Each structure stands twice: as C-alpha cells, then as structure tokens.
Amino acid sequence: MSFAQIIGQSRPKEILARALQTGRIPHAYLFAGPAGVGKEAMAIEMAKALLCSGSGDKPCDGCSACRRAGRFGHPDFFFLFPMPKSAAVEEEREVLDSLVRDPYVRKQPWASPTIGIERIRELRRVSSLKPLEGRRVVIIAEADKMTPEAANALLKILEEPPADMQIILTSSRDAGLLPTIISRCQRVDFNLLTNAEVAAALVEKKSVPEEQARLVARIAQGNYRHAAELLEENLQERRNLVIEALRISLKDEGTRIEWAEGVLDELDKRELRDFISLMLIWFRDALVLTANPAAVASDQLVNVDQIEVMSKFVAAFSEIRFEGIFTDLEKSIEMLDRNVHPTLILVVMLGRLNRNLILKGSAL
C-alpha cells in the first residue's frame, strides 16, 4: 500500500495501510495535525480505498468506484466542509472541483464559515438508510468548525454508529472538538512536512524549477498548501515589502500610518497574514545570524539568497529585541484571525517594531 498521491506522512500511511490489509477499520477516524500537510488529501485517498472494487492494493484508481469517488460523484461518498447555509449548489461544486484538481488546496471562498446543524441532520438521515453499493464513507473536513449544535448531533451518530459507515474527521485545531467526539475516534497524527518533501512535490506536481522550489519550501515551513499558494503570488515582491516595512517602522508615526493605508489597498486578509509570516521568518533568520554568523554557509537560514541585505540589517542596530518582536508579530496574526481591523493591526505592529529596533545612529 503506497497512497502514492500523498506527500510524506509515512506513519499515517502505515497505520491506514495496515487497517485496510487486516480489514479492522474503526467506525471513525480523526486525522489531526498542522494545516496544509495532507490530512484532507489522505482522507480522500482512504475513502477511495474503502469504496474501491478493484483487486490488489487499494485504492486501485482504476475501478469505477475509485474514479467516481475521486471526482466526488460516488453515491455513498459524502464530503462535508465549512460553508455558509446560503451557499449555492454551484458554489459547493466549485470547492469540490478544486479538490479534484489538487486535494491539498481546497478553495475557500467564504470568510469564517462553519458546519451547521442542517448538514449533520442530513447526514443523520442518510445514515439511517442502506448504502447503495455496500459501504458509506463520510469525510468532515475542519470538523472543529462545527457549530455546537452540529457537534452534538454528530456525537449522537458516533455513539451508535451504523455498521456500514466510516466517518473521517480532519482538524488542524482538535482542541476545538468535543472531548467526547475525540474519544470515539481513532486518532491519526500528521506532522509538518520536511522542506525536502515540499520541494520535491512542487517540482513533481507543479513543475517548479528546483531552486525556486527549495526557496518556497523553506518559506512554507512544512505546509504544502501554503507553498502552492505562494506560487500564485509575487513572492519576491512580498519579501521586498518586508524590507520596506522594516525601513518604514523607523519613521515617524504619520509616515507609518500613511504607508500602512497604502499597503492595505493592495493586500487582502490572507496576503497580509502571509506578509506578517514572512516578517516572522525574516526576524527568525536575523536571530540565527546574530547568534551564529557562520550560519551564512548553512541551511539554517530561510532567506539565504538575501544574506547581504540581512547582514547589513543586523549590523545597523545596537540592539534588536527579538523576544518582543516575535511576541508582537504573533499577536498581529492572532488579531487578524480575530477580525481586528487590518489598518490598526499594521500601524500598531510598525509602532512596536519602532520601539524594539534600536539603531546605532544611522538609518537603514
């Protein structure tokens, strides 16, 4: 059993392959771990394997069941994900089609969607019926985004699971799940991917040149989905924006506010989050370089191609208060996720950088 479409994750592959070979399949799995590492992709492959009617290793990807499940057209395969109650059927289909194209990069067209009680009620109704082809498989992606009512409704299904149905939950934040739901699932933990695994996958799946793939993999920090999204952006432009932000942070408050307002005319919420994450990586590299100048010649740095600029940056300050900077940047991302106004986040972030970067006496 290879699950060849899945990047890395040898341990989850081993656990699921053994279950398929022995036929000892629990009624519910919880695939838990960081975002963008293949939980949903693996859940889809596992669903195909459970529904597969071919001989030999499963999924065979050749039988009718595998092909239909792979395009979300199998009558006994249900894929639930967060979306507004008002979402049209066509919008739901667009999301599923994005998974057909790339199971690591599900389209997410709505802000802060949830999985509502009506979706689980429908699942409960369906679970009372016999599967059309012998077995039913249900994937609930981002299960931690179920409303409390939906979570309690799912718990009732898990308490008395139909013998002919397997449920696979995925979550990057399993602390948001009811403990009683977690206790009724077999947990399979997924890890961050290695830079080498992400880079190799970008070369193979996206035809990215090797040097670019290695750079994007280092920035993505083990998250293949993020790596794929970065390919859609002008990454060098974003990295240059980080350096510009560092210069602006040393200016007066009026200049910082004016700059922040201009930048936010060009960046949406996700792009702003990526920008702050790139800044975190920049300061992480700066800390490594400050502690160990020999890191220039190693793989310890992400922004290794900008080492000259970073060396000048580090040398320009008598003190860089790294602990405060990391705390402030992480709080900025947290506030963004809590829907605080982006302009306020960026202005406050620049002001705190101003206090934590102590110049030797000359501007950057």
Q: What is the pLDDT of residues 268-292, one digit of tens each?
A: 887 888 889 889 989 988 888 888 7
Whether 99 contacts 70, CB under 8 Å:
no
Q: Mean per-residue pLDDT for 24-50?
A: 95
Domains of the chain, with CATH numbers?
10-191 (3.40.50.300), 233-359 (1.20.272)
Q: What is the mean pLDDT of the chain?
A: 90
The Cβ of residue 31 has, within 10 Å, a number of other Cβ atoms equal to: 30
Per-residue pLDDT at 2: 56
Per-residue pLDDT band for 84 (boundaries 50, 70, 90) equals very high
Query: Looking at the predicted structure, is the pLDDT value of residue 363 above 50?
Result: no
275 Cβ contact partners less than 8 Å away, ≥ 6 residues apart: 238, 241, 242, 245, 267
Assign residue 302 a region (left: φ > 0; alpha: ψ between -120 and 50; beta: otherwise): alpha
Paired with 170 in beta bridges are 31
Helix (H, G, I), strand (E, B) or coil at 60: coil
Q: What is the pLDDT of residues 301-341, one digit of tens each?
A: 777 777 888 888 888 888 899 999 999 999 998 898 888 89
| CA 350/CA 364 separation, integer angstroms | 15
Q: Mean per-residue pLDDT for 51-78?
A: 92
Q: Is the peptide bond before 12 cis (omega within 30 degrees of 0)?
A: no
Q: Any idea which of 17-31, 54-68, 241-255, 349-363 has the lowest mean pLDDT?
A: 349-363
356 Cβ contact partners less than 8 Å away, ≥ 6 residues apart: 320, 321, 324, 325, 328
Question: Which of 209, 216, 213, 203 minimizes the C-alpha distance to 303?
Answer: 216
Share of the chain above pLDDT 70, in %: 96
Per-residue pLDDT at 298: 58
| CA 34/CA 261 separation, integer angstroms | 32
Per-residue pLDDT band for 69 (boundaries 50, 70, 90) equals very high
Q: What is the pLDDT of residues 198-214, one digit of tens each?
A: 999 999 999 989 888 88
Q: Model-level pTM?
A: 0.80
Paired with 188 in beta bridges are 31
Whether 187 contacts 30, CB under 8 Å:
yes
Question: Which of 287, 290, 289 minimizes the C-alpha distance to 298?
Answer: 289
Per-residue pLDDT at 95: 95
Q: What is the pLDDT of residues 103-121, one digit of tens each?
A: 999 998 888 899 999 999 9
Q: Which residue did the predictor score with more confidence, 98 or 218?
A: 98
Angle subtended at Cα 296 by Cα 293 and Cα 302, rounded to the nearest 5 degrees: 115
